[in-house]
Amino acid sequence: MHYKNGREAKNGDKVILFPSYGLPVVGILYDATAGNDYCNGKLAPASANDPCPNLKECLHLDDVLAVVNEANVRAGMDEAQKALAGCAAAFSGPAPVQQ
C-alpha cells in the first residue's frame, strides 16, 4: 500500500485525502489492507459514511506539513510558523475532523 507520492501507507497514519471532488479531508487511516491502493481503508472519525480513500489521492500529513513548514521558513513567515505548529499539535492524536 502506497500513497500518491510513493510513501508506504500504514494503518494509523494521519493523512490528507485530496478527492477528485469536494474539499480535502484530514483523517486517520484505518482498515486498509495490503495489496490494494484504491478504495482501501477508511478515514477516522468512524461513522457509517466514512470516506473511502484512493491512497493514490492521499499524502501523509507529515509530508504536507514538512513542505508547508519549509515554504514558511524560506519566506520568513513567523506567524505562519506559529499557526503551523498549532496545526501539527492539533493532529498529534486522533481527533474528530470536520469536512
* Residue 86 to residue 88: CA distance in whole angstroms: 5
Residue 1 is assigned to a structural domain of this protein: no
| pLDDT tens, residue by residue, 75-93 | 776 665 566 565 555 555 4
Residue 61 is assigned to a structural domain of this protein: yes
Tell me the mean pLDDT in the region 26-46.
Answer: 82
Residue 30 is assigned to a structural domain of this protein: yes
Residue 50 is assigned to a structural domain of this protein: yes
Residue 39 is assigned to a structural domain of this protein: yes
Q: How many Cα atoms within 13 Å fall on the side-chain side of residue 85?
A: 7
| pLDDT tens, residue by residue, 51-73 | 778 888 888 888 888 888 888 77
What is the domain count for the chain? Answer: 1
* Residue 52 to residue 38: CA distance in whole angstroms: 9
